[in-house]
Every structure is written in C-alpha cells, then in structure tokens.
Amino acid sequence: MSPNTWRDISGCSSVRKLAKSESKGLQAVTVSLSIRSLLFASAFFSSSAICLNRLTYLKKEERVEMAGASGKKEKVDKAGPSGGGKKKKDVKKETGLGLSVKKDENFGEWYSEVCKHEMIEYYDISGCYILRPWSMAIWEIMQTFFDAEIKKMKVKNCYFPLFVSPGVLEKEKDHIEGFAPEVAWVTKSGKSDLEVPIAIRPTSETVMYPYYSKWIRGHRDLPLKLNQWCNVVRWEFSNPTPFIRSREFLWQEGHTAFATKEEADEEVLQILELYRRIYEEYLAVPVVKGMKSENEKFAGGLYTTSVEAFIPNTGRGVQGATSHCLGQNFAKMFEIRYEDEEGKREMVWQNSWAYSTRTIGVMIMTHGDDKGLILPPKVASVQVVVIPVPYKDANTQGIFDACTATVSALSEAGIRAEEDLRDNYSPGWKYSNWEMKGVPLRIEIGPRDLENDQVRTVRRDNGVKEDIPRGSLVEHVKELLEKIQQNMYEVAKQKREACVQEIRTWDEFISALNLKKLILAPWCDEEEVERDVKARTKGETGAAKTLCSPFEQPELPEGTLCFASGKPAKKWTYWGRSY
C-alpha cells in the first residue's frame, strides 16, 4: 500500500466511526484504527494492508468487545433468542472521539461536549467549573497581552481581599440593589454562626474605595490606577453555562481615579480599545464598540461602554467586556476627595473596567464546528502538532526523528509546537483528537515525506492540505498561522454581518427577532420604551433588549421614527436577545 493510501485511510472519518456489515448471520464491528492489526482488514479492503484495531467477527448471540477512550475493554452482553425473554438494546460502540450532536442541530449540547473535551471539567457544585490546562493557557496568553498594555498606561497591579463587610457593601444603594440577588454570604465559622455575615465579592468597588479615600489626599496622589487579577462570585442565577455564565469566574478589574472627567473619559475608550483587540486580534471574534443604555449600564455608574459579540447559531448577543465611567457617585459615597492646587477640596472622577473568562466561551461558540474546537493561532497553547504516519516496513524511527527535529526547528523560531509520538494510537485517531482540541495546524510526516525531504500541512480552519519542503518549513508555517488567524476573523465577521438586519417598524422587529437576527433599529433612547419592549417580547427564550448603541452610527435621516414608540428617533441601536 502506498503512503498516500495509508495517510488518507487512517484519517478518514467514516473508517474511524463504527462500521457494521451483516452477511450470513455475521456482524463486523470496526472499533478503531491501529498499525498492529493489518491482517484483519481484508474483509473491507481486499488488496490493501489497512490497519484496524480490535476488528472482531461475531455471531449476534456472542459478546461484543468494546474499546473506550481510556483504551480499556468492557464486556457487554448481547441478548439472543434465549436472553431471558427481554432483548437488550443494541450496543453502540463508543470511541470517546467525535461529537454526538451537530452545532446547527443542538447548539447547547454541542457546546457542552466541546467544552468537556479538555477545556473544563464539571464540578460537584452547580455553576462551578474546573478550568483545565488547555483553557487556562488561553486565559494566560490574553492576560500577558493585557497586563503589558495597561502597564504602559501606568496601571499597577494589586490584590484586595475576597470578603466584604455588609456595611461597606450596602453603602452605595443603587450598586448593591443591582448585585443583591447574586451576592453569596458566609454565615458560619465551623459550627458557630457568625455575629455578622460576610459577603463574597461580586465585584470590588465597595471593597477598594474605602481605601482610596485614605490614600488620596492631594492632587499629587492622582491619578490612582490599580488593577487586580482575581476571582469573583455571583451566586443567584439559572441556566449555568461554562465560561459564559458561572457562579465563580476569573477576571481582571481595573479601578482608577482622576482629577477631571476628561481624563476619565479618555481612559474609558483606551481600555475599550484593548478589549476590542483581545477579541478581534487574539480570539478572531468580531465585536461592536458602543454605549449601553441607561437600563443596561453598570449599577451606580455614570455611563457604560462595551464590546458586544453575537452568536449566529443562537441569535444571541454577548456582552464581551465593559469599561465604565463611574462619575463621582462612588467618590461621594466613600468620601474620596483631594485638595487641588488652589487648596480647594474636590471629588475625584472614577472608572472601573473588566473582562473575564467569558471571552473563552465566546471564542468557542464563534469558531467551533462539528469536529470540535477551532483555536485561533494567537491563543493556542499548541499552534502546531506534528504526527508521524508510518506503515508496515516503514522506517519508523527515522519518521519519529524527523518529527522531533521539526518540532525543535519550529520551537526555536518561537512557534508553539508538539509532536505526538504515542505508539498506542493510530494516526487517524490522533488526527481526530487534535482536531477536537482545535490545534490550528497539523503536520504529517510519513515515509514518502521522509524520502522527499518534505512535510504535509493540514489546516484546522478549512482542511486545506499542502506539501512543504523542510528547508522552508519555518517561514511557511509562520505564514500559514497568520493566514489562519486572519481567515478565522474574516469568516466570523461574514457570518455576523449576514445576521445583521436593519428594521424600521415593530412588525419588522418581531420578524427579525424570530429569525435570530442582530437587529439595528432607530430608537428614541427612552428607558420606559426599552422596558416596554422587554415586556412585550418576554417568552421562553428570553426578552429582547438593547445590546449597545454603536459608536459608528449609520446616517439617521431627518424624520426617522422610533420603531417601538413612534417618537422621533435619536440614534441607531442594536437589539436582540442575549446571554
């Protein structure tokens, strides 16, 4: 058999799946591929020595050997005519590879399966998840970028305690009312009740600002720019979703104080641009920068800006990250004042801004397909995986050495690469495994590649294959990774743009909402009208609301009316259901 025949067959999804054929009372069950089982393959390929791992011919009454993802075999009885009067269900072979549902058919189940494949592990407390190394690496890459950028802005890192006293938490009325349902409380120490319950931070404004009032005395103490990388807890909610909606999550939160509103306004937009870069330049997810409505702004703040993503499969928006101008409200509550150059006592202007591990969930939803995760190269902990493709009588050691040398060359050039030399899995199994994990680029090396001093590259985003001379491999791989990153963004942007629908009337709004569109509508910018829209669209799938009013406003012709109230429209605003 030729190297190309072996390469194509070992990676074929139809061969990797369970194959059943019945003839003369016999049933052939194909479980998985392996180099060691070539002799059994003649039943399917008469002239080719294709390797099929654990191929067994059995009568219907016999026992079926099943091999799971762990490699351990489980004995499963098949019920025959004398099986106690009750027939057992047909045994379905499980390989541990491949998704059981398609993204377009059952998005929720699909998302859960993709997340469970080395991204998270479910914990025994509802709404809490273990972040496994594969997802934690993505967070660390984004953290490295963002941390370096805010340090250029003279922001310093710090850490404040997890616990909040009730008196401090309740000091800002609007703020605590916005978070009250989500606050978790510590009420016991051992078996004893605490005299005063202690809250666990849902956010840190009330944790930090009593100390800002101590540290800020005069104009020389400003600006004060602090950030902390931490976890927060928001307890009361329904429908937990990994990364998107969890009771505990990781984030960064910046808290800054300035002498003037102009300084605060400038920083709000600087931070928002960094959030756009995280989504578009690192996660390859298109977002819209805009202003939140009065109903949707941060509780107790002056105004809120955000980057908004959109998931075409569900027709839902996602608030990707927020940058708030708090104005002077918190300064008033916590007595954060300074003495200006003329000796007058003034209140500071404050901002807060944050993004969280929700970013990872948005990335998964945007790019994943029916094979699993697709990682943008910039955030992939492994950008390239190198897989040997040996076959019978091939120079296996020579192929393995070539794989190791390839990884070394790529690693020295700053490319995150690994080889998969495990000998207990077939090349086809490895292809599927690394595809599910979303590695952007696969390199295959077989006997013909060794002979021709080349490798074969396979892109995860579009499946394109290419044979590359080893002499120019590093330069070509760098170019490929850049193309993959850009293509993922462009594809996601095209899908998002295809969902945008501009409407003018209520009937058009309802029709677009039912079609899961991202709706751009003229709006009068009145809080009561937004609340009315929510009430009129409330249903099992959630009510529609404003997502943001984009900074880049389309032209609003004179005389344009609000789609919901019929009053003169003041702006264009994105509407839709959201996570």
- Give Cα separations from 414 to 407, 468, 483, 498 (angstroms): 11, 19, 17, 37
Q: Work out whether strand 349-356 and strand 345-347 pair parallel, antiparallel, or are unpaired.
A: unpaired
Angle (deg, nearest 10), helices 261-277 and 133-152:
150
Cα–Cα distance between 428 and 389 in angstroms, integer? 9
Cα–Cα distance between 297 and 197 in angstroms, integer? 29
DSSP 171-209: SSHHHHHHHGGG-EEEEEETTEEEEEEEEEPSSSHHHHH
Handedness of CA 239, 245, 249, 254 (dihedral sign): negative
Which DSSP letter does residue 561 get?
B
Cα–Cα distance between 37 and 374 in angstroms, integer? 32
Which DSSP letter does residue 554 get?
P
Res 302: pLDDT: 97
Res 391: pLDDT: 85
Res 173: pLDDT: 66
**Alpha carbon of residue 114 to chain centroid:** 10
Structure tokens at 438: 């979303």
Q: Work out whether strand 384-388 and strand 441-445 pair parallel, antiparallel, or are unpaired.
A: parallel
Cα–Cα distance between 342 and 264 in angstroms, integer? 21
Q: Is the pTM above the cut of 0.75?
A: yes
Element (H, E) at 231: strand 224-233
| Residue 351 near residue 359 (C-beta atoms within 8 A) | no
pLDDT string in tens for the chain (579-residue length): 444 444 444 444 433 333 333 333 333 333 333 333 433 333 333 333 333 333 333 222 222 222 233 333 333 333 333 333 334 334 333 355 789 999 999 999 999 999 999 999 999 999 999 999 999 999 999 999 999 999 999 999 999 999 999 888 887 666 667 677 889 999 999 999 999 999 999 999 989 999 999 999 999 999 999 999 999 999 877 789 999 999 999 999 999 999 999 999 999 999 999 999 999 999 999 999 999 999 999 988 999 999 999 999 999 999 999 999 999 999 999 999 999 999 999 999 999 999 999 999 999 999 999 999 999 999 999 999 999 999 888 899 999 999 999 999 999 999 999 999 999 999 999 999 999 999 999 999 999 999 999 999 999 999 999 999 999 999 999 999 999 999 999 999 999 999 999 999 999 999 999 999 999 999 999 999 999 999 999 987 789 999 999 999 999 999 999 999 999 999 999 999 999
